[in-house]
A and B are shown apart, each in its own frame.
Chain A
Amino acid sequence: MSGKHINLTLKVWRQKGSKDQGSFVEYQAKNVSEHASFLEMLDAVNEEIVAKGEEPIAFDHDCREGICGTCGFVIDGEAHGKLKATTVCQLHMRNYNDGETLTIEPFRANSFPVIKDLMVDRSALDRIISSGGYISQNTGNPQDANAILIPKADADEAMSSATCIGCGACVAACKNASAALFTSAKISHLALLPQGAVEKDERALRMVAAMDSEGFGACTTTGACEAACPKEIQLTNISRMNRQFLGAVLTQRPKHKDGGAG
């Protein structure tokens, strides 16, 4: 296959485990095709490392189509690298020049402990979801789907918020390591729909509390998250979350302890 080929120097963060000290290690990526993705470039570097009998660079990845949210690390200080609205698996080497040196390190946040090398533990995001990021609806016998009419604009807006892939770039890009963009995207997606609006107050209270208890920092609305987001999730979600949360705090009612009729 023709096309341009380049050589790069990589400074990669290597860390054996969460309790170990990490450091940068230098590798040469030689003869990299411009058509290769960033992860395919790392695959090739890893093949060489393994051939030498050493442990390959560990990084999380799966679909390699920019949709699963598994991949992601920081390249030259930017989460998912320099292209806007792009996951690292969809970042291709034609965006780099021959002879460049790239610094590659994991997403950094206290709530994302490093597992190994570029892999971090983002399970805190799942715990935020299990605290209320759903609609309470048992399986079976819902009404006909078209019985719930939803204005197209609302459905589109909910969809835009729902496109969050939970990669954690927003947290890594934030100086406070806040998870506000992630949490607010889910809160918006569900609250914008009539099905989800019913329990929106309870949801906002619980998800914000979960976010805080996981140790994510406070949002200062500087917008670094929005700039880093591969799915262009908007800052307006955070405004919506804040308004809902405040409203919910003000009108919060104690949960009924009264039982039903016997």
Chain B
Amino acid sequence: MANILDSKIPSGAIEDKWEKAKFENKLVNPANKRKHSVIVVGTGLAGASAAASLGELGYKVKAFCVHESPRRAHSVAAQGGINAAKNYQNDGDSTYRLFYDTVKGGDFRAREANVYRLAEVSANIIDQMVSQGVPFAREYGGTLANRSFGGAQVSRTFYARGQTGQQLLLGAYSQMMRQVDAGTVELRYRREMLDLVVIDGKARGIIVRNLLTGEIEAHEADAVIIASGGYSNVFFLSTNAMNCAVTAAWKAHKRGAYFANPCYTQIHPTCIPVHGENQSKLTLMSESLRNDGRVWVPKAVGDKRHPNDIPENERDYYLERVYPSFGNLAPRDVASRQAKYACDEGRGVNESGKAVYLDFADSIKRLGEEKIAERYGNLFEMYDKITGENPYKRPMMIYPAPHYTMGGLWVDYNLQSTIPGCFVAGEANFSDHGANRLGASALMQGLADGYFVVPYSIGNYLGGTKLNKVTTNDDAFKAAVEGVKKEISTLVNIKGNRTVDSFHKELGNIMWENCGMGRNAAGLKKALEEIPRVREEFWQNVRIPGDPNYLNVELEKAGRVADFLELGELMCRDALEREESCGGHFREEHQDNGEAKRDDANFCHVAAWEYTGNMKTSVRHKEELTFENVHLATRSYK
């Protein structure tokens, strides 16, 4: 049997691969497209743009989202911007430079060919979004404005105030709604995917729960695209929206889709610190703030003075000190870790000691308060609302928090998972960010996948695959529906003593302590003992009041936490096996004076996990990575 992890990277020079792939793709005759149906799960940037494009092409599309409206998808929350190699600033940007920066930023754990394609289509994304009415920031002459963004030394980030994600999502959403109006896209709201149906080895449909009525529905199609986002909520406290879950991807994993690099979590350095016991989630402050804000802590341990009373020479601007060439714009993993070190040394601020200052005093002095307000006004207001403090008068306090997850379902160059006909787009797949997502690159990937990659690869698949007719009356569908119903009835009949959230918090603590910003073998082994214990208790003692045949929020949460309890274990196993540090994965045993120490000789590969029946027996497979264009080198931001 051929290697199931065949990346299907086209041959030839990196610049030509995507053109070659597009030309070699099989085509579906326009008149035949309407005979093919495609399911899209999730309607964020990747899902909405995929549904819109496929609808335009003429396929019959069914799009599903857990939200009450696709416009709510968590893509809305991205603040800072989207990268594109337009070189509008004439500062030396190019497709190749964006590619180079992204491979390097991913710490050589991404697939070169995918990243090149991402850089290549980035410019199209901006054109596409502008043409459909995204109100990007403009200069007085009417041209688009750009700014620099964490980790990049050129100004390639396009933005719409601090709401870039929202504006891009509204763009993709409106394009999808246009197709809804045209009748090519059928939209199903408040539906959660609870299983993937595989027939003759191919993905042929999904099972969803109607969250309003509790009804379990079966939907068939010729292909399924999973664009259900990331899984940072495994940590309970994260910057993800409350409904972000791994469930759709996890169910596909249990049906045979390999899960790649689950341990790669991005810890975002600039979040509002934890305030207390009842906190439900963390709020990110855009990384763009680091363009004008200076990060510091007091030099002395335990210095509890008001920040404005601490003189310059008693402050440690540690990012500028440790990384003179990148300073406050050091990449996210590096900046996060340095904040942790400062706090571990007892120099953290806030009552908890788990915060550092992000100070705008110098910029306000240099540029004036008005200019700062123009750049970051809405973020400052948001900070003020949440903390009750005015960041124009007193430095902000920030601390790292789980944000984006780079791991996800394994996909080949065509974004197809190890299950034929099951494609994965956006954050739900693993492919483009390696071990660290740089700022402003997630929006880029979501839209690249949805608008410019998946529509081609779906055509290639449907044009080149013999598909038998299936209906939801087939045994595989019936069995999947029964399985889902059984799991729901098991959950509601436990009638135990503990709330769903209490389990989620317990898991979250274990994950943050042992598989968070720093990991080590002892902690991971401990977590691997604790998680199965929590999982066992969950299945014996969770309490879900109310009716499963109606809107039941506790039941929804319980299903998601059940999946997180499995994923969490896989993340820890993956982290334990990866005996190196790279990007967001920092194994404390593998470092040089606090800097991550990669092991290219042994770990220059993607780890893709196969589910074989239960968590303990999952099998780790490897896709070796080769770097022909950007040569393996140690990152240095000094």
Cβ B128 vs Cβ A139 within 8 A: yes
- Whether the Cβ atoms of A40 and B279 lie closer than 8 Å is yes
> Would you call A138 an interface residue if the criterion is a C-beta within 8 Å of the partner chain's C-beta atoms?
yes
Residues of chain B lying within 8 A (CB to CB) of residue A69? 71-72, 76
Task: Report the separation of the CA atoms of residues A145 and B174 in the bound assembly, to the nearest whole angstrom.
Answer: 19
Is A126 in the interface zone, CB < 8 Å from B?
Answer: yes
Query: Quick one: which of B32-81 are within 8 Å of A by CB?
Result: 49, 52-53, 56, 67-72, 74, 76-77
With a cutoff of 8 Å between Cβ atoms, the chain A residues found around residue B388 in the complex are: 34-35, 92, 94
Q: Are A136 and B178 in contact, CB atoms less than 8 angstroms apart? A: yes
Cross-chain contact of B135 among A34, A65, A66, A158 (Cβ < 8 A): A158
Contact between chains at A135 and B71 (CB < 8 Å): no
Whether B385 and A86, one on each chain, are in contact in the complex, defined by CB atoms closer than 8 angstroms, is yes
Q: Is A63's CB under 8 angstroms from B77's CB? A: yes
How many residues of chain B get a CB closer than 8 Å to chain A's CBs? 84
Chain A residues with CB under 8 A of B241: 62-64, 68
Pick from A36, A66, A129: contact of B382, CB below 8 A. A66
- Chain B residues within 8 Å of A190, by CB: 133
Rounded to whole angstroms, the CA-CA distance of A58 and B555 in the bound complex is: 12
CB distance from B188 to the nearest CB of A (A): 11
Q: List residues of chain B with CB within 8 A of the CB of A90.
A: 382, 385-386
- Tell me whether A159 and B130 are in contact in the complex, defined as CB-CB below 8 angstroms, given that A50-B499, A146-B88 are known contacts: no
* A145 interface neighbour in B70, B74, B144, B166, Cβ under 8 Å: B144
Tell which of A114-122, A212-220, A221-229 binds the partner.
A114-122
User: Beyond A125-B69, A126-B69, is A162–B167 a contact (Cβ under 8 Å)?
Assistant: yes
A-chain residues with CB within 8 Å of residue B160 when the two chains form the complex: 159, 162
Which residues of B have CB within 8 Å of A133? Answer: 174, 177
Most B C-beta atoms less than 10 A away, residue of A1, A94, A121, A165: A1
A61 on interface, CB distance cutoff 8 Å = yes
A43 and B501 contacting across the interface, CB-CB below 8 Å: yes
Q: Which residue of B166, B175, B181, B455 is within 8 Å of A67 (Cβ)? A: B166
Chain A residues with Cβ under 8 A from B163's Cβ?
67, 163
**Shortest Cβ gap from B525 to chain A (Å):** 31
In the complex, how many angstroms separate the beta carbon of A113 from the nearest chain B beta carbon?
11
Q: Are A151 and B142 in contact (CB under 8 A)?
A: yes
Complex CA distance for A138 and B53, rounded to whole angstroms: 8
The reply to whether B72 and A68 contact each other, CB–CB distance below 8 Å, is yes
Q: In the assembly, what is the distance between CA of A136 and CA of B182, in Å?
A: 11
**In this assembly, does A131 line the interface, its C-beta being within 8 Å of a C-beta of chain B?**
yes
The residue on B at minimum CB distance from A5 is B276
Closest B residue to A148 by beta carbon equals: B130
B554 within 8 A of A: yes
B251 to chain A, nearest CB (A): 21
- Minimal Cβ-Cβ distance residue in A for B189: A123
Which A97-153 residues have a C-beta within 8 angstroms of B?
A: 115-116, 119, 121-123, 125-126, 129-140, 142-146, 148-152
Chain A binding surface SS class: loop
Q: How far is the CA of A132 from the CA of B124 in the complex (A)?
A: 24
B143 within 8 A of A: yes
The answer on a CB contact under 8 Å between A165 and B275 is no
Cβ of A235 within 8 Å of any chain B Cβ, yes or no, is no
Cβ A58 vs Cβ B553 within 8 A: yes
Contact A63 B174 (CB under 8 A): no
Q: How large is the interface on A (under 10, 10 to 19, 20 to 34, 35 or more residues)?
A: 35 or more
Q: Does A193 make an interface contact (CB < 8 A)? A: yes
A116 to B67, CA, bound (A): 15
Within 8 Å CB of B543, what residues of A? 50-51, 53
Q: Is A76's beta carbon under 8 Å from chain B?
A: no
Indicate with 1 or 0, residue by residue over B67-102, a CB within 8 angstroms of chain A CB atoms: 111111010110000000010100000000000000
A40-B278, A43-B501, A145-B130 given as contacts; is B68 within 8 A of A70 (CB)? yes
Partner of B352, one of A1, A37, A83, A158: A1
By a CB distance below 8 angstroms, the chain A residues around B351 are: 1-2
The interface-forming segment of B196-204, B322-330, B544-552 is: B544-552
Decide: A159 near B135, CB < 8 A? Known: A62-B74, A92-B388, A146-B144: yes
Q: Which residues of A contact B312 (CB under 8 A)?
A: none
Decide: B69 and A123 in contact? CB cutoff 8 A: yes
Q: Bound state CA distance, A115 and B160, in angstroms?
A: 34
Is residue A155 within 8 Å, beta carbon to beta carbon, of the partner chain? yes
In the complex, are the beta carbons of A39 and B131 less than 8 A apart? Answer: no
With A1-B352, A139-B53, A142-B128 already in contact, the answer to whether A162 and B135 are too (CB < 8 A) is: yes
Contact of B9 with A by CB under 8 A = no
> Which A residue sits closest to B75, measured CB to CB?
A68
Most chain B C-beta atoms within 10 Å of own C-beta, residue among A35, A67, A131, A158: A67
Closest to A61 in B: B242
Q: Is residue A54 contacting chain B, with contact meaning CB distance below 8 A?
A: yes
With A70-B68, A138-B56, A155-B137 given, is the CB distance from A55 to B545 under 8 Å? yes
In the bound complex, do residue B143 and residue A146 qualify as a contact, i.e. CB atoms below 8 Å apart?
yes
Q: Which residue of A lies closest to B169 (CB)?
A: A68
A56 CB within 8 Å of chain B? yes
Contact A193 B133 (CB under 8 A): yes
Report which of B49, B132, B455 forms a contact with A135, defined as CB distance below 8 A. B132
Q: Which of B127, B175, B280, B499 contacts A39 (CB 8 A)?
A: B280
Question: CB distance B554 to A50 under 8 Å?
Answer: yes
Contact B545 A142 (CB under 8 A): no
Residues of chain A contacted by B127 (CB below 8 angstroms): 142-145
Complex: how many Å from CA A67 to CA B166? 8
Contacting A at CB under 8 A, from B493-514, are 499, 501-502
Task: Say whether A252 faces chain B, with CB atoms less than 8 Å apart.
Answer: no
CB distance from A81 to the nearest CB of B (A): 12
Q: Mark B389-401, 1 if CB is under 8 A from A, else 0.
A: 0000000000000
A144 smallest CB distance to B (angstroms): 6
Chain B 259-284, CB-CB to A under 8 Å as 1, else 0, gives 00000000000000001111111011
Residues of A within 8 A of B132 (CB): 134-135, 137, 195
In the complex, what's the smallest C-beta–C-beta distance from A237 to chain B, in angstroms? 14
The CA-CA distance from A136 to B55 in the complex, in Å, is: 13
Instruction: Please tell me if A3 contacts chain B, counting CB pairs below 8 Å.
Output: yes
Judge whether A60 and B133 touch: CB under 8 Å.
no
The 8 A-B residue pairs whose C-beta atoms are closest, nearest first, are A149-B142, A1-B276, A142-B131, A134-B174, A145-B130, A130-B177, A159-B135, A35-B275
For this complex, 22 residue pairs linking A to B, each with C-beta atoms less than 8 Å apart, are A1-B351, A35-B276, A35-B387, A39-B280, A47-B501, A54-B545, A56-B545, A56-B554, A64-B280, A65-B77, A66-B382, A68-B77, A94-B388, A126-B189, A137-B128, A139-B175, A143-B131, A145-B131, A148-B131, A151-B140, A162-B160, A196-B133
Given contacts A150-B142, A155-B135, A190-B133, 4 further A-B contacts (CB under 8 A): A68-B77, A69-B72, A126-B71, A140-B124
